[in-house]
Amino acid sequence: MSATGSSAEAGATLLEMLVVVAIMTLVAGLTFPNVPRTLDRMSLSRTRAELVTKLRMARADAARRGRAVSLDIADDGRSYGWDQSEVALPAALRVEGETRSITFFADGSSSGGVLEVIGRRGALKVAVDPITGVPAALGAG
């Protein structure tokens, strides 16, 4: 208010501010619940990609050494690896499979199998072809 008593000054009233805060709260409420789900899915995808990479490395290691190499999954599913190389998984994830071990042979073939990276909000699969020994991610993610 000016000294003459008119309210010529432009400004936001308390009611206008409350409306803006309410709208921002609604938008945040609709947007942010998806963030944890997205982060969980990203962690699951990243862990599956790392598993595929390690399977490829184990296959290459078998060819390089000229002998079989087995990638083993821990009994609790919280880690996997071969020889001196072990990978611990993030807290909420584990690896399961129809078999606890996949063996790669010097000729590039393997015992084959399907492994599954399991998280709180889903699972993603990796298949290892027994003839070629090539691991591949299955499905989206």
* Residue 105 pLDDT greater than 80, yes or no: yes
Interval 36-61: pLDDT, tens:
677 778 888 899 999 999 999 999 99
Give the pTM.
0.74
DSSP string covering 62-78, please?
HHHHTS-EEEEE-TTSS
What's the whole-number mean pLDDT along residues 68-91?
89
Say how many CA atoms lie within 13 Å of 102 toward its Cβ: 33
Q: What is the mean pLDDT of residues 63-88?
A: 90
User: What is d(CA 50, CA 40) in angstroms, rounded to the nearest whole number?
Assistant: 15
CA 126/CA 76 separation, integer angstroms:
18
List domains and CATH numbers for the chain. Answer: 34-138 (3.55.40.10)
Among 103, 135, 133, residue whose Cα is nearest residue 117: 135
For a pLDDT cut of 70, what percent of the chain falls above it?
87
The whole-chain average pLDDT of the chain stands at 86
